[in-house]
Amino acid sequence: MRARNIFFLVAALVLLPAVSAYSAERVVLGYSGVGSGEEVHHLAKQLGLFKKYGLDVEIVYIPGGSTVVQAMVAGDVQFGRGSSNEVVSAHLAGFPLKIISALINKFVYSFVTPPSIAKPQDLKGKTVAVSRFGSGSDFITRLALKSWGLDPVKDVTILQVGNSPERLAAIASGKVHGSILSLSQTPRAKKLGLRVLADLSQIDAEYPQGVLYVSAALIAKRPDLVREFMKAYVEGIRQFKTNLPAAYSVIEKNSGLTDKSDIEEYHGILTKNFLLSNPMPTVAGVKTVLDDLGQKNPKIRELKPEDLIDTRFLRELSASGFIK
């Protein structure tokens, strides 16, 4: 009997490593924005797609892309989702990040104002809102103002207010006179009687949004981890486009939209006009960012778009037929 018990004990110990080898690996995804396809990663988690590829992903909302990067430097976050601006800033700070995915490659924002602002030039002398200085919303706001012949420094006052829902509230309350809003907030703005002054998607330029990035060190050390994450992410995009009940549900939970017609409008516009099935970051899109930021910082002019992107994982998935 004693020999039999020892046999089972040894067998159990031998089997333990095999069991742990197949347990899900825990990673953290930190994201900083709302309303431009962030629902994709929530849906991937909700449908168990990350676990399907051996990952236990914790999704954490962190206000401000720079704060996401700080968490990555500290080792608390492995995957970041936000704008390409923080990727540029991290490179300059000596912490190279790589953009591995961009859900959207256009300016998917509306510039919203009170009804009293009838044309862009009426913003002169007024106050506009961004999330934080140096953020993607700050970059796009300044670009839009310049395109209208306004000097972002001399002609308007720019305030840090927060993400799109907070900026919408600031416009509605009269605290500011305008702001870019993400796609999910535009229906709410219209219902509040605010004016959609401009559809920034009409700007003729590529621009990466819904950017997913990781450290160059993680790619070098754990390409397998990044590869499996991307499989779940790409499958999440597909599900978001085709599984309407699940997509509508995750939009309601995470975007602030509650009206069914608003949810359907947001999903329809996003999936038909913007959301890429193969979310490959482009050289032209990143060049748009570098060209503008480089006007103020000569060090940025030394960077090339190829320094900031890594498309190997999406190229692999495309070549294998996985994306199709």
**Residue that terminates a domain, selected from 202, 237, 272:** 202
Structural domain for 245, as ranges: 22-106+207-319
Please indicate, yes or no, whether residues 313 and 214 belong to a single structural domain of this protein: yes
| 197 and 214 inside one domain | no
Q: Which helix (H) or strand (E) holds 127?
A: strand 127-130
Closest CA to 43 of 257, 265, 242: 242
Residue 190, C-beta contacts closer than 8 angstroms, at least 6 positions apart: 196
Tokens of 140: 């796009």
Question: How does pLDDT run across 157-200, given as a tens digit for each residue?
Answer: 999 998 888 999 999 999 999 999 988 888 889 999 999 999 88
Each residue of 270-307: pLDDT tens digit? 998 899 999 999 999 999 999 988 988 999 999 999 99
Write the pLDDT tens digit of every residue in 223-252. 999 999 999 999 999 999 999 999 999 999
- Residue that is written with structure tokens 């002054």 in the block: 197
Q: Are 67 and 36 in contact (CB under 8 A)?
A: no
Here the CATH number for the domain that contains residue 149 is 3.40.190.10
**Which of these three, 202, 222, 246, is where a domain ends?**
202
99 and 117 housed in the same domain: no
Residue 80 has pLDDT above 70, yes or no: yes
pLDDT tens per residue across span 6-61:
333 334 433 444 333 457 899 999 998 776 788 999 999 999 999 999 999 999 99
